[in-house]
Amino acid sequence: MKSTRRDEGTLPANHAFVVQLSHDALGTPASLRGRAEHVVSGHATHFETLEELLAFMQHELATAAQSIKEA
């Protein structure tokens, strides 16, 4: 699938995540299991719902933003 966004080159590295889905994940919120890792910090978690995945990502992004403010 080709993206139509023009600003792809401006995506910050501290917003990058690797998400691995379980072999039995069906892509529905109830079956979305796997592991996520924040690329810059190396922090990782296992998740069993979309809400858990998004909560982890929001936490890591907020932590990264706070670190930038303090620097």
pLDDT digits (tens, 9 = 90+) for 27-42: 666 678 999 999 999 9
Q: By percentage, how much of the chain surpasses pLDDT 70?
A: 80
10 domain residue, yes or no = no
More confident position, 15 or 4 = 15
56 domain residue, yes or no = yes
50 domain residue, yes or no = yes
Task: Give the Cα separation of 26 and 44 in Å (integer).
Answer: 21
11 domain residue, yes or no = no
24 domain residue, yes or no = yes
Q: Which residues form the domain of 25? A: 19-70
Q: Model's pTM, two decimal places?
A: 0.76
63 domain residue, yes or no = yes
Are 32 and 50 contacting, i.e. CB atoms less than 8 angstroms apart? yes
E strand or H helix that includes residue 46: strand 44-47
47 domain residue, yes or no = yes
More confident position, 66 or 31 = 66
Task: Give the Cα separation of 28 and 9 in Å (integer).
Answer: 30
